[in-house]
Amino acid sequence: MTAEVARLTDVLSLRDLAGRYLAGLDEGGFDETWARSLFTEDIEMTFPVGSHQGLAGVAGFTTEIMARWGRTHHHGSETQVDVDGERAELSWSLIASHVHHGSPLPPDPTQYFQLGGRFTGTARRTPEGWRFDRLRLRIVWTTGAVPRGVTQVDRKTLDTRGNTPTSAKENPPMPTTLTADQQKELIEKVFHEGLDLGDLSAADRYLTADFRNHGSHDDSMRGPEAFKHTIRIQQSAFSDIKYEILDFISMGDKAAIRWVMHGRHTGPFIGIQPTGLQVQHQAIIWFRFEGDRIAERWGIVDNFALERFLKSGGKPAGPLTPAGGPGAGKPAA
């Protein structure tokens, strides 16, 4: 009897956790106190409009999503709960209504957006009570008008009218809303906050949810996580990182930069153990924008020169001897 009472108490606490999360989306007030009342330090959130990891920044991530709407109403079904000791699995169905900013009462059909879907997640028992450590939303159906300024993935995921794939013609890339100066400012934020400072949440703030990182460490990765992978590699291999943008050009929804990275080699990189050398790493990068975010990146990065520099103990990389000549294929003296 005592064990059953404890189980039922946990079930009620977990259902209350889910209810407080949904109610909070409509009530607002996303701050650190709100976040700590719902999530663990290592919370992972995966939504159609973006993903986020870690308690730090989760309030800002939620604020950014909810700021797209003037008013919202989230209605959830009874939460299904499966408790297993100190962990639990949760799931519930959702119908959510979103009203555009400045819409009349009642809203015109072109001024609201509705969706149906299902939340799934896991929770962990903490000294403060049950807290989510994983939360995912899968959308099943939508109706109405998406807000202005959504990214391509938002439009594909939120406005499908079902689960039938559409062709590229039916779902063209969304044009950028950024001027050339705004494009440069966005790129500078990505490099400074993400690569200089190692802030993983910069990827969630500035990249589309289906971001493509072509010619990078792992082309198969999609979304902000692809750029987070790059940040982790850079931060583990170099310290005192500073990216300097030397040149910038803009052509409609695309822009190109030439950068140099200054840093110290203090961790393994492309198979080379830390040398402690001060390095300068160069590249030319193209970006494509959708809405107010970066959707794609193509990189031509001079890893070859950096590899020669590190392996030589800091000797400047000279030109290669022409093929067929003495010492062909080796750095010139």
Q: With contact defined as beta carbons under 8 Å apart, do 245 and 188 qualify?
A: yes
Cα separation, 42 vs 92, whole angstroms: 22
pLDDT of residue 103: 75
Question: In whole angstroms, how far apart are CA 276 and each of 66, 204, 233, 261, 303?
Answer: 45, 32, 16, 15, 17
| pLDDT at 217 (0 to 100) | 57
Which pLDDT score, from 0 to 100, does residue 325 have? 46
Q: Are strands 50-53 and 254-265 parallel, antiparallel or unpaired?
A: unpaired
Q: What one-character DSSP code corresponds to residue 49?
A: T
pLDDT in tens, the chain (333 residues): 688 888 899 999 999 999 999 999 999 889 999 999 999 999 999 887 778 889 988 998 898 888 878 889 999 999 999 999 999 999 999 999 888 877 777 766 667 788 888 999 999 999 999 999 999 988 888 877 765 545 444 444 444 333 333 443 444 566 777 899 999 999 999 999 999 999 999 999 999 888 888 866 555 677 888 899 889 999 999 999 999 999 999 998 999 999 999 999 999 988 889 999 999 989 999 999 998 899 999 988 888 888 889 998 877 655 544 444 444 444 333
pLDDT value at position 167? Answer: 40
Helices (H) and strands (E) in the chain, counts: 8, 12
| Amino acid 140: pLDDT | 83
Report pLDDT for 317: 56
Helix residue ranges, H only, 115-265: 152-158, 180-189, 201-206, 224-237
The answer to whether residues 190 and 245 touch, using CB atoms and an 8 Å cutoff, is no
Residue carrying structure tokens 């992972």: 44
Tell me what pLDDT residue 102 has.
74
pLDDT of residue 147: 59
